[in-house]
Amino acid sequence: GNSVTQMEGPVTLSEEAFLTINCTYTATGYPSLFWYVQYPGEGLQLLLKATKADDKGSNKGFEATYRKETTSFHLEKGSVQVSDSAVYFCALITATDSWGKLQFGAGTQVVVTP
Amino acid sequence: EAGVTQFPSHSVIEKGQTVTLRCDPISGHDNLYWYRRVMGKEIKFLLHFVKESKQDESGMPNNRFLAERTGGTYSTLKVQPAELEDSGVYFCASSQDLGRGDLAFFGQGTRLTVV
């Protein structure tokens, strides 16, 4: 079956540090890949997406590249801010999941300190 | 425009009791999804409504869970009787079109604690 594996958190780092959150997946077919973020007290928000191999999704300074050869979609940001503290979820949806049936990872909590 | 809203934001109930969670989707969104995150694990799909019809309920864990969407507007998810392992965060999402992940808007979730 389909699955998404993320690095465990919490990840604690200082402001302006480089952030990487690893995400690998197993899926039948050709999935679309997503990163969702949940800020404290808020709902899940789409952060970025990529729908085919070598696509790079980007938003708010975050980037992730769809790597089919390594089945990965690692999230990166060059200089984090305190406001980036949140839980980040990697997710996929396959071509057969045409009804918004997202498959999520377990989430990675990120804590950015001043 | 209001987003997806969920009620209550938190609920603490005793094992064996009944709890009803509510989700108000974005107006005009025919598709409504329920997900849950248990014990800090992955967020798992529960079911999908198209208007008032259950399109896919393959993720519902057992018959203690009942989801309804009367009139195709808001939805309720009832847990009866609640068990300890039902504790977690229940998310609702809605979309206008058949979602491709990026088209689903999520609520803030309901944190359910069963003691």
pLDDT (0 to 100) of residue A10: 94
What would the 3-class secondary structure string for B83-111 be? Answer: CHHHCEEEEEEEECCCCCCCCCEECCCEE
**Omega cis (within 30) before A31:** no
pLDDT (0 to 100) of residue A43: 86
Which of A29-33, A92-96, B4-8, B71-75 shows the lowest per-residue confidence on average (mean pLDDT)? A92-96
Q: To the nearest 10°, the Cα dihedral for B52, B77, A39, B44?
A: -90
- 8 Å CB contact of B91 and A43: yes
Interface of B with A in 55-94 (CB under 8 A): 55-56, 91, 93
pLDDT (0 to 100) of residue B2: 77
Q: A65: Cβ–Cβ under 8 A, 6 or more apart, which residues?
A: A50, A54, A55, A56, A57, A73, A74
- Higher pLDDT, residue B72 or A14: A14
Amino acid type, B102: D
- What's the mean pLDDT in B18-28? 96
pLDDT at A109 over 90: yes
Q: How far is A106 from chain B (nearest CA, A)?
A: 3
Query: In the structure, what pLDDT confidence band is assigned to residue B8 with cuts at 50, 70 and 90?
Result: very high
- 8 Å CB contact of B100 and A42: no
- 8 Å CB contact of A100 and B33: yes
Amino acid type, B63: N
pLDDT (0 to 100) of residue B98: 64
Identify the closest residue of chain B to A42 by CA–CA distance: B108
Identify the closest residue of chain A to B40 by CA–CA distance: A106
Backbone angles phi, psi at A11, to 5 degrees: -105, 120
Nearest to A91 by CA among A108, A76, A69: A108
Give me the residue label for tokens 């990697």. A90
What would the 3-class secondary structure string for A7-39 be? Answer: CCCCEEEECCCCEEECEEEECCCCCEEEEEEEC
A57 near B CB under 8 A: no
Model pLDDT for residues B67-102, shown as the tens digit of each residue = 999 888 999 999 999 999 999 999 999 988 765 556
Identify the closest residue of chain B to A44 by CA–CA distance: B106
pLDDT (0 to 100) of residue B97: 72
Residue of B42, B98, B109 with shortest CB distance to A99: B98
Identify the closest residue of chain B to A48 by CA–CA distance: B102
